[in-house]
Each structure stands twice: as C-alpha cells, then as structure tokens.
C-alpha cells in the first residue's frame, strides 16, 4: 500500500471498570438497552491506526500486543458502512494495540469499538465532533448486538469516575442527538492498580443473557443506585462508591462466582505485605476475574502502585498501573 496516497487515521479510547450495574435489556431496540451503575474510566485502553486506499472493500487486522477479537472490528466497520456508504469503497487495514487484556472486566470491547470507529472516520476526514458522537453510537450498538457489554460505552462518553443514571446509548439517530443513555463523570486522575489472573475470564454474555444472574445483578445494582444516584456527583462521593461497590459484589453473588473471593483474598494479602491495607481498597471489576486497587483517599499523594505491582506479580497475578481518565 502506498502510504503517501492512502487514507490515514488514528483513534484511541481508554478502558472502563464497572463496579456495580443493572441489566436493562427488556426493550428490543438496542439504543434503549444498557445499564444503570457506576465505575471507573481508565487511561489505558485501545489504540487503533487505520490505513485505507480506494479499492475493493475489505479489512485486514493486525494485533500488535494482546490478541483481540477480529469479529468486533469487522462489525464496527460494517456498521459504519451502513451510515457512511463511502467507507465501503475502501480497502482497509488496521493496527490494534490493546493495553489491557480482553474478557477481564476492563471494557476492552467497548474501548476497541470506539477507537476503531474513530480511526476509520478520521482517516476519511470526517468532522471531529460528528465522528466522536457516531463512534459512541456505533460502539454501543455493536456491544449490544454481540452481547459483549451493556453500559461501558455510555460510561466512556462521560469519562472519569462515572455514574450511569439512564440506560441506553449516549448518542443516537442520524442527527446523533444526545441520549437516551445519560451518565455523569468527574476525575482527580486517581492512581489505580489493576490485577487479574493470567487466564481469560468468563464472557460477559454468560451473565447478562442468563435470567438468574440478570435478576440477582439488577436487584443488587438497583439497591446501590437508589442512593448513589442522589445528590451531586463529585470527589466527596468517593467513599460512597467504594462502599456501594463492595456491597454490590457481595449481594449480587458475583463475588463468590468464578473464584473471585479467592482472587480478592490474594490481592488483599499482597496489599498487607506492602503495608497499604489501611490506605487502599480492592474492588472486583465486573464482569472479569480481576480487581481494581485504589486509594481510600481519592486525592492522596503517596504512590504505592509500583511496589504493589511487584508484590502482585510475585503472587502469580498480572498487574498494571493506570489512572482514572479525564472527563470526556
């Protein structure tokens, strides 16, 4: 491919850690589906670089770090072509760089879908704000079509420490109007350590498509959102979020599933060996087999993340340092 005459665009999107949620998929229209809940948008996520040149439509995908899901990126492009037919007159090639593993509760499918949709549109020279809104709209529908997520895209559209107040896509329709999904976010760039088992976790659809899990999750999530959704949303609510996340993990039954309780215990033991058991808290990431370790004081200055990563890796886990992302 002659790069000088080719289309070229780059998109990136951070990941998202769901701490508590409901399953809202009763309405047939995927634009109306999603979840209420709360979580953390993180800086680490997915970067996609798209190359293209006029020719026979197709997509070549190269994963440059962690292996990803080819079907996700193919579906994103097919959905984009439905809205922007000119994208179907291009022979495409993308390079995908994932900073975190898939199927571990880090929102990599949502992040990858947003980043890819952005990269394709930027390569075509489409306007920034229009491209951004369309990327969120496409990513949400792709997530629902593939049952890989519920509210990650709406959360990412808010950014930071987010709460999702109304279920649905953050943008919709040919005019890309806001909603029906609605979320709010704030950020102090709080440091986070993410830890996970080397093997991939259960697929999200195993929970959100299961009637028993849906009911247990939604009841536990609704209970916590009844208080988290009230009042102003800012750094003074950090303690409320930490408490709600731990209660949700217990009440939903998710903490006891897939050996998550054992994982949480291993992480807490590593925190104890680092001497940070009193100043940090470990929370389960939904729906992976992973944990987010954050400071109890959202604006604490001490950085213990490096020593904790070493301790976690010594215990046989994989770990990474990141921070809460900016408000979108």
Do the beta carbons of residue 325 and residue 14 sit within 8 Å? yes
Average pLDDT over residues 114-143: 98
Taking every pair of C-alpha atoms in the chain, what is the biggest distance, in angstroms? 60
Q: What pLDDT, on a 0 to 100 scale, did the predictor assign at position 5? A: 65
| Residue 126 CB neighbours (<10 A) | 18
Q: What pLDDT, on a 0 to 100 scale, did the predictor assign at position 302? A: 78
| Strand (E) or helix (H) holding 241 | helix 238-252
d(CA 4, CA 67): 29
Domains and CATH numbers, the chain: 3-182 (3.30.230.10), 191-323 (3.30.70)
Confidence class for position 201, pLDDT limits 50, 70, 90: low
3 state DSSP class of 294: strand
Beta bridge partners of 51: 8, 93
Do the beta carbons of residue 145 and residue 116 sit within 8 Å? no
Confidence class for position 166, pLDDT limits 50, 70, 90: very high
Average pLDDT for the chain: 95
Tokens standing for residue 130? 């229009």
Average pLDDT over residues 180-194: 96
**Mind listing the pLDDT tens digit for each residue in 255-313?**
999 889 999 999 999 999 999 999 999 999 998 899 999 999 998 877 899 999 999 99
Residues in CB range of 241: below 8 A, 6 or more apart: 19, 38, 161, 228
Q: What pLDDT, on a 0 to 100 scale, did the predictor assign at position 2? A: 44
Give whole-number Cα distances, 247 to 6, 104, 105, 241, 292, in Å: 52, 20, 18, 10, 15
Residues in CB range of 86: below 8 A, 6 or more apart: 124
Average pLDDT over residues 30-54: 97
Average pLDDT over residues 114-135: 98
**Mind listing the pLDDT tens digit for each residue in 80-113?**
999 999 999 999 999 999 999 999 999 999 999 9
Q: What pLDDT, on a 0 to 100 scale, did the predictor assign at position 100? A: 96
Average pLDDT over residues 70-77: 98
């Amino acid at each position: 491919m002659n790069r000088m005459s080719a289309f070229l665009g780059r998109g990136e999107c951070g990941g998202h850690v769901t701490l508590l949620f409901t399953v809202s998929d009763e309405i047939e229209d995927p634009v109306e589906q999603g979840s209420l809940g709360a979580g953390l948008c993180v800086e680490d996520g997915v970067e996609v670089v798209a190359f293209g040149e006029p020719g026979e439509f197709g997509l070549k995908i190269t994963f440059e770090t962690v292996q990803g899901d080819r079907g996700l990126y193919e579906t994103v492009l097919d959905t984009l072509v439905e809205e922007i037919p000119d994208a179907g007159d291009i022979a495409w090639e993308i390079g995908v760089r994932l900073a975190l593993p898939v199927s571990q509760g880090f929102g990599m499918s949502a992040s990858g879908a947003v980043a890819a949709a952005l990269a394709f549109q930027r390569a075509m020279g489409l306007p920034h704000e229009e491209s951004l809104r369309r990327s969120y709209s496409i990513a949400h529908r792709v997530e629902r079509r593939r049952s890989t997520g519920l509210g990650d895209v709406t959360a990412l559209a808010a950014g930071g420490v987010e709460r999702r107040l109304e279920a649905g896509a953050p943008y919709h329709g040919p005019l890309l109007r806001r909603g029906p999904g609605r979320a709010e976010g704030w950020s102090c760039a709080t440091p986070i350590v993410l830890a996970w088992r080397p093997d991939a976790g259960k697929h999200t659809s195993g929970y959100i498509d299961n009637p028993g899990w849906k009911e247990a999750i939604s009841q536990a999530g609704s209970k916590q959102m009844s208080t988290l959704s009230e009042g102003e949303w800012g750094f003074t609510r950090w303690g409320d979020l930490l408490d709600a996340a731990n209660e949700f993990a217990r009440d939903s039954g998710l903490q006891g599933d897939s050996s998550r309780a054992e994982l949480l215990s291993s992480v807490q033991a590593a925190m104890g060996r680092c001497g940070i058991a009193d100043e940090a808290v470990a929370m389960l990431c939904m729906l992976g087999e992973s944990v987010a370790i954050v400071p109890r004081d959202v604006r604490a200055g001490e950085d213990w993340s490096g020593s904790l990563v070493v301790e976690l890796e010594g215990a046989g886990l994989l770990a990474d340092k990141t921070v809460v992302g900016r408000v979108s």
